[in-house]
A and B are shown apart, each in its own frame.
Chain A
Amino acid sequence: QKEVEQNSGPLSVPEGAIASLNCTYSDRGSQSFFWYRQYSGKSPELIMSIYSNGDKEDGRFTAQLNKASQYVSLLIRDSQPSDSATYLCAVNTGYNNNDMRFGAGTRLTVKP
C-alpha cells in the first residue's frame, strides 16, 4: 500500500471553475501536510501547508484536512490556464523533515 495516494489524472476543468485535488495517506500519526505545484520540467514549489483539521485559505487556494479520515484536499477557485501543472501531496509522517512522503501527483489541465 502506498503511503500517500493521489489520483494521477489528468483532471481537466474549464477556466473559472473550481478544481478539486484529493490525497489520502496511510500513517495515522502524520503531523503535517503540504501541497506542491510542479510545472512540466521544473522543480516542485510549495503552495500550501496545513497542520490542523479544517480549512486553510490562501488567495484562490484552500487546503482541507481531515485526520480522522486520513484525507487532505486542495481546492483551486477561479482556475486559470496558468494553474495547469502537476500537484504533489506531501505528508510528514514524523517530527523531522526526513520523514516526508510524496504522492505521485495529479496532473491538472485548465482549459481556456
Chain B
Amino acid sequence: NAGVTQTPKFQVLKTGQSMTLQCAQDMNHNSMYWYRQDPGMGLRLIYYSASEGTTDKGEVPNGYNVSRLNKREFSLRLESAAPSQTSVYFCASSSLAGVRTDTQYFGPGTRLTVL
C-alpha cells in the first residue's frame, strides 16, 4: 500500500522555466491538497480539491495552477518559476471533504530549488 506518492523527489529549475509536480494516492480518498513548507513558516495550503472535478485556491495560490486529473491524481504546475517558489512541496489526501475531524495523509515531498 503506497499511500500518497509524489514525483519528482528533487528538482532544480532556472527562473522562468515551467514544471509539473505529480501526486497520486491509492487510498480512494476524495480530497487532495498541495502545501508548501518554508523554514520558519510552517505548511501553507496552495490549492485543494474537495472531490474529483473540483479545485479551489488555498492561502498562497499565486504562481501555481492545479489539475485534478481523476480521483487518484492531483498535479501542481508552475508556469514560470521564480526564486520565491523555492520550497518543499507536499501533497496530501483525506477521505472526506467537509468533515472537520478528517485526517490528512502526506506524501514524501518534492524539494524544489529555483535559481
Interface residues of A (CB under 8 A from B): 4, 8, 31-32, 34, 42-46, 49, 51, 88, 90, 92, 94-98, 100-105
Contacts of A44 in B (CB 8 A): 43, 90, 106
Q: State which size class the interface on B falls in.
A: 20 to 34
CB pair A49 B103 closer than 8 Å? yes
Binding site for A on B (CB under 8 A): 31, 33, 40-45, 48, 50, 56, 58, 90, 94, 97-109
Report if A46-B100 is in contact (Cβ < 8 Å); known contacts: A97-B94, A98-B48, A102-B44.
no
The tally of CB-CB contacts under 8 A between chains A and B is 62
Within the complex, what minimum Cβ distance (angstroms) separates A11 from chain B?
16
Contacts of B40 in A (CB 8 A): 8, 104
Contact A98 B100 (CB under 8 A): no
Q: Given the interface contacts A43-B90, A43-B108, A49-B103, does A88 sit within 8 Å of B98 by beta carbon? A: no
